Amino acid sequence: MHVLRRHLHLTLLFGLGLLVLVNARADKPPIGEWYLSKKKHGYNVFNLYPSTESRVPQVRIEGVINVPYNAAVDLLWDPEYQSTRYLNDYIEKIQQIKPGKLEREDFYVFRVPIIARMAVRIGSGLRGSVGRRQYGNLRLTLEHGTDEAWIRWKDVPIPANIERPQHAYAIRKNEGHWRLEPLTATRTRFAYWVDAYPGGRKVPLRLIRWANNAGTRLPRILEQRYRDRHPSTPDP
């Protein structure tokens, strides 16, 4: 089993889904339907509360990135690409349980950013209610066609031989996808969706709203990753 540390790819796939919990709205959102929550950097951010009992919304982000279609697919799927910049400092560990070209399983340990922990404490009055460290096991699949690509992930049971980290919570739910379509030779249309629920004792209702702002960074980070690999590519 190959252990990968400090990788950005997992954050790009679903890492910010773990921060969806800090996007709970103080006002009453519509139930059972997507609504436009924010427009930023040319991206549309939508939320969905499936029921009145839902505390954590699903998030969908749509827009266009300045990355060629095949390059975007390769970057999102490639677990070997490393960077010490941006958001990857929150990933403590990635362990490929079942490597594969079209399907694989990744066990991960994720450190909740201190801002999110502070938001939880302010919103709930309970110290550490979500937990500083989260972990889980994801099955990822890739479908790569000429005019459309899907990268999907879903939480699956953790094998018995995998050591669970101490003082950490198992993610209760983590499911999502990237959908990519070629737009031009240098631009790709994307849709990102995540439905995640963190582990811990309690998820408070009133939390700060910065998750959507952070979510809009995902496609911009992907653009920066592409420029890192192709230094001659001008900034958009």
CATH number at residue 38: 3.30.530.20
More confident residue, 87 or 199: 199
CA atoms of 179 and 193, how far apart (whole Å): 9
Tokens 């890492």, residue located: 15
Map residue 31 onto helix, strand or coil.
Answer: strand
Residue 80 included in any domain? yes
Give me the helix-helix angle, 69-77 and 217-229, nearest 10°. 100
What is residue 146's predicted lDDT score, i.e. its pLDDT?
95
Q: What is the pLDDT of residue 139?
A: 93
Higher-pLDDT residue of 54, 166: 166
- Tokens describing residue 53: 């009992």
With respect to residue 235, please indicate whether it lies within any of the assigned structural domains.
no
pLDDT on residue 234: 61
Q: What is the percent of the chain with per-residue pLDDT over 70, rounded to a whole number?
A: 65
Please count the other Cβ atoms lying within 10 Å of the Cβ belonging to residue 232.
Answer: 5
3-state SS, residue 104: strand
Is 236 inside any structural domain? no
What pLDDT was estimated at residue 87? 45
> Which of the two residues, 35 and 18, has the higher pLDDT score?
35
Cβ proximity of 100 and 138 under 8 Å: no
DSSP class of residue 133 equals E
Examine residue 234 and state whether it is found in any structural domain, yes or no. Answer: no
Beta partners for residue 43, in sequence order? 40
Q: 54-99 pLDDT, tens per residue? A: 777 888 999 999 999 999 999 888 765 543 344 455 677 778 888 8
Evaluate whether residue 94 is within a structural domain: yes
Residue 196 lies in a domain: yes
Lowest mean pLDDT among 8-12, 48-52, 55-59, 193-197: 8-12
| Domain range for 60 | 2-229
- Tell the burial category of 56 from Cβ atoms under 10 Å away from its Cβ (0-12, 13-18, 19+): buried
Q: Are 133 and 145 in contact (CB under 8 A)?
A: no
Mean confidence (pLDDT) of the chain: 75
Residue type, 73: V
Residue 207 is assigned to a structural domain of this protein: yes
Q: In the 8-state DSSP scheme, what is residue 99?
A: -
* Number of domains, the chain: 1
34 alpha-carbon distance from chain centroid:
19
pTM (predicted TM-score) = 0.77
pLDDT classification of 131: cutoffs 50, 70, 90: low
55 or 188, greater pLDDT? 188
